[in-house]
Chains A and B, each alone.
Chain A
Amino acid sequence: MSQEILDGLAVIVNEVAGVPVEDVQPDKAFIDDLDIDSLSMVEVVMAAEDKWGVKIPDSEVKNLRTVGDAVAYIQTATA
């Protein structure tokens, strides 16, 4: 698990939804634990695409249930 990607994602989630950076941990679910609604999730994805130069298709977004899922996806996509 890339700490750098996790840290970067935490900053994005904080910026978009105001969730404290330290609460953005790999086991946390975006919707159920962090209270990210569907519109804010789109924003998180857009910001991640910009930051890491990756494309996250809508068909993949529904599989990114937890922060860890997103970190893993971005890590693979940038590898």
Chain B
Amino acid sequence: MRIAITGLGATTPVGGDVASSWAALLEGRSGIRTITEEWAADLPVRFAGTLAEEPPLDRVEARRLDRSQQSVLVASREAWADAGSPEVDPLRMGTVIGTGIGGVITLLDAYDVLKERGPSRISPHTVPMLMPNGPAAVVGLAHHAAAGVHAPVSACASGAEAMAVAARMITDGRADVVISGGTEAPIHPLTIAGFAAMRALSTRNDDPSAASRPYDLARDGFVMGEGAGVLVLESEEHAKARGARIYAYLAGAGLTADAHHIAQPDPEGRGAARAIRAALEQAEASAADVVHVNAHATSTPQGDIAEAVAIRGALGDTAAIVTGTKSMTGHMLGAAGAVESVFTVLALRDRRVPPTANLVDQDPEVQLNVARDTPSELPAGEIVALNNSFGFGGHDVALAFRSAE
């Protein structure tokens, strides 16, 4: 059974929807900005990829939702409209939305209220807003999904894991249509301080838009971002029966674990390579079929090399065009795998790969054909692209997409 992708939605640091985000990437435009709020003044890192547009929700709707829920609700509405807003039996409709942290801003703000004003002043919406399955539940409620609502949590692989779980809902016969995605709204002094304490973040405070530079020799860590991405997955049979436009197919998903370290990648990239091989096997594709990789490429000194080793381990001496779109969006953590799935699908549709911004001196240890400066062209015909996502904890997820033609 083939899994068709029939709708796309996103809100990111480079655009408030799919079209504006994609246009920004093709132009190489960064969404990384200085945080000017007072709370950032004492932080070692004072910049991030903040949403290009505030989520367009009415006041009452917004006040009951954590920011991570607001973003993904907006993206899900865009994706659903893009899919043609089909009439689907709720019992045949599912939702899978991953997040790395859940409603962390809600949690921390509520703790401030608890300390300053006492327990009687805690909002009754606090728990639904902070629970990590909250975004999945909010989207499921909005779209009347009764076949099942799931919320994979695997740090920065969560959004990609959501795609794999969603595809399984369809191949297992539980649903015909699944709204799947990832979301994150992590920008808060505590999370920035925490990631900075791990020495995981770039500290290029004097030049934020140049801070996220995957594969470049001068990279010094990732840049935190916020956003959400949503894809409507649908059985090919269901999509064709209703005459839906099919962007591409989610042909395979590989999920493995490093079993190496809580935060460090396996330097030999073995778990990641196994994930890529598993995705290709499920897709019934060979390494030579892969023409494009939207890499995890967070711009950390070790992670980028480990992934490059993994890609070569799985694909061999590949000419596939690799890009790191986090160079422009920053790292949206649990949203990354979903947003980058949207970008991978668009690359297959348009046959164009966005450049990796800020790539000036490619690290010689990264022996890959990395897109830079201007968009790269992909060949005509049926082609395969990969999207990699890895998370703290050693989670490895590779997704294989096949073009519609």
Contact = CB atoms under 8 A, between A and B. Distances in A.
A42 B121 CA distance: 10
B124 interface: yes
Interface string B119-135: 01101110010000000
Contacts, number: 17
Interface in B91-138: 120-121, 123-125, 128
Given A16-B60, A39-B124, A43-B123, 14 more contacts: A17-B60, A18-B58, A18-B59, A18-B60, A38-B124, A39-B125, A39-B128, A40-B124, A42-B124, A43-B124, A43-B125, A46-B120, A46-B121, A46-B123
Interface residues of A, number: 9
Interface of B: 58-60, 120-121, 123-125, 128
> Which 3 residue pairs of A and B lie closest in terms of their CB atoms, listed nearest first?
A18-B60, A42-B124, A39-B124
B184 to A, nearest CB: 25
Nearest to A45: B124
A18 B125 CA distance: 16
A21 B120 CA distance: 26
A38 B60 CA distance: 15
A79 B125 CA distance: 31
Interface of A: 16-18, 38-40, 42-43, 46
Contacts of B58: 18
7 contacts: A17-B60, A18-B58, A18-B59, A39-B124, A42-B124, A43-B123, A46-B123
B116 to A, nearest CB: 14
Nearest to B60: A18
A36 to B, nearest CB: 11
B186 to A, nearest CB: 25
A40 B120 CA distance: 15
A39 B125 CA distance: 7
A17 B120 CA distance: 20
B393 to A, nearest CB: 33
A44 B128 CA distance: 18
